[in-house]
């Protein structure tokens, strides 16, 4: 029997967290029909602090600390996260044992009912757009300077209710993957689910390792290496996007000032063949950016990590650190 945890308690649970956990457990049940899985809902710091922007809280483990505490005490054996909620450096003793196939990683604009049919470009001057992400706000501020951007927190149901029932927001920005998982296609990390486990629990690592989607794994290693090297987090506007095509991993990364007026973007690529899963993985401590994938060849994993680091270094050498330092200072000051 294995226990699985997801963020959010039963009283205020996001349906999305449960849907994501259910999807992982359903796959595991198919693979291991003799095992019984118990789902335990939990609440995290990030779920409880809803009146403060994520970038202002200053806690790197907002959506993970309580879940990792349960893992450490053997109250659960695995935890399902949106991968974007997991820091690029995990606490000692924990690892991401599986990265599931990524869904649509794009953002979606959801409009207030009175603005249905509009676009961000055609919204009235000084319309307020809600987002919990500095990265989204900076990118959109640069392209749509006539709009204002304000933090909006809460689960998907809460954010959509604030949009529909109040007059504060003309539109909000949400992840397409979340809307699709909820079945709200008509309203349309970022996209990938990670399963966190105890790093030394080989039985559980073997159990969840079959969930690894090799292409998504390599893309996420590259993306997390890029973010880690830039020290990107909730307090700075940093973005990265990857795509795999014909044996090439393409990666575009960028940094922005808080208001989007200053930006720097670059693209790199590397030859990386997506491997099939196999049984002869590395025998030493195989973690890369907090991810363990013993059933995936080491070479492509290292190549993906190197691509992320190389792109980060390219931006840093061109002055990205100055943009990020000013963004941090301004964010801390407000």
Provide CB contacts within 8 A for 317, sequence distance 6+: none
H or E stretch including 271?
Answer: strand 263-271
Nearest to 100 by CA among 251, 19, 213, 210: 213
What is the spatial distance between Cα 207 and Cα 36, in angstroms, rounded to a whole number?
A: 13
Helix/strand/coil for 179: helix
Contact 297, 238 (CB under 8 A): no
Which residue do the tokens 């090439």 mark? 248
- Cα Dmax for the chain: 59
Contact 295, 212 (CB under 8 A): yes
Helix/strand/coil for 118: coil
H or E stretch including 28?
Answer: helix 15-31
Nearest to 254 by CA among 151, 142, 146: 142
Task: Dig out the tokens for 4 from the structure.
Answer: 């699985």
What is the spatial distance between Cα 135 and Cα 151, in angstroms, rounded to a whole number?
A: 12
Nearest to 330 by CA among 110, 69, 64, 137: 137
Task: Dig out the tokens for 244 from the structure.
Answer: 């795999």
Give the Å distances, CA to CA, from 273 to 189, 213, 240, 306, 309: 23, 14, 20, 15, 19
Residues with active-site annotation? 85
Task: Break the chain down into helix, strand, coil percent, rounded to 5.
Answer: 40, 20, 40
Contact 24, 4 (CB under 8 A): yes
């Amino acid at each position: 029997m294995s226990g699985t945890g997801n963020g959010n308690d039963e009283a205020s649970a996001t349906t999305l967290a449960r849907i994501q956990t259910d999807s992982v457990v359903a796959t595991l049940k198919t693979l291991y029909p003799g095992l019984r899985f118990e789902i335990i809902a939990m609440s995290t710091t990030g779920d409880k602090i809803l009146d403060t922007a994520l970038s202002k809280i200053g806690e790197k483990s907002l959506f993970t600390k309580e879940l990792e505490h349960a893992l450490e005490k053997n109250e659960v054996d695995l935890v399902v996260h949106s991968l974007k909620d997991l820091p690029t450096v995990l606490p000692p003793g924990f690892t991401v044992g599986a990265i599931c196939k990524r869904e649509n990683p794009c953002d979606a604009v959801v409009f207030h009912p009175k603005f249905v049919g509009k676009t961000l470009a055609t919204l009235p001057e000084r319309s307020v757009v809600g987002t919990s992400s500095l990265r989204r706000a900076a990118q959109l501020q640069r392209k749509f300077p006539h709009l204002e951007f304000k933090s909006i927190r809460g689960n998907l149901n809460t954010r959509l209710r604030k949009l529909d029932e109040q007059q504060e927001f003309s539109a909000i920005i949400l992840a397409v993957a979340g809307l699709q998982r909820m079945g709200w296609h008509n309203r349309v990390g970022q996209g990938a689910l990670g399963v966190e486990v105890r790093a030394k629990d080989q039985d559980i690592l073997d159990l969840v390792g079959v969930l690894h989607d090799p292409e998504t794994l390599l893309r996420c290693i590259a993306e997390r290496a890029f973010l880690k090297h830039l020290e990107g987090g909730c307090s700075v506007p940093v973005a990265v996007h990857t795509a795999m095509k014909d044996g090439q991993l393409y990666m575009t990364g960028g940094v922005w000032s808080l208001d989007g007026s200053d930006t720097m973007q670059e693209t790199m690529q590397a030859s990386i063949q997506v491997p099939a899963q196999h049984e002869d993985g590395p025998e030493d401590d195989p973690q890369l950016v907090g991810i363990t994938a013993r059933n995936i060849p080491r070479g492509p994993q290292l190549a993906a990590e190197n691509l992320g680091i190389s792109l980060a270094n390219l931006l840093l050498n061109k002055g990205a650190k100055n943009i990020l330092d000013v963004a941090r200072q301004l964010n801390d000051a407000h």
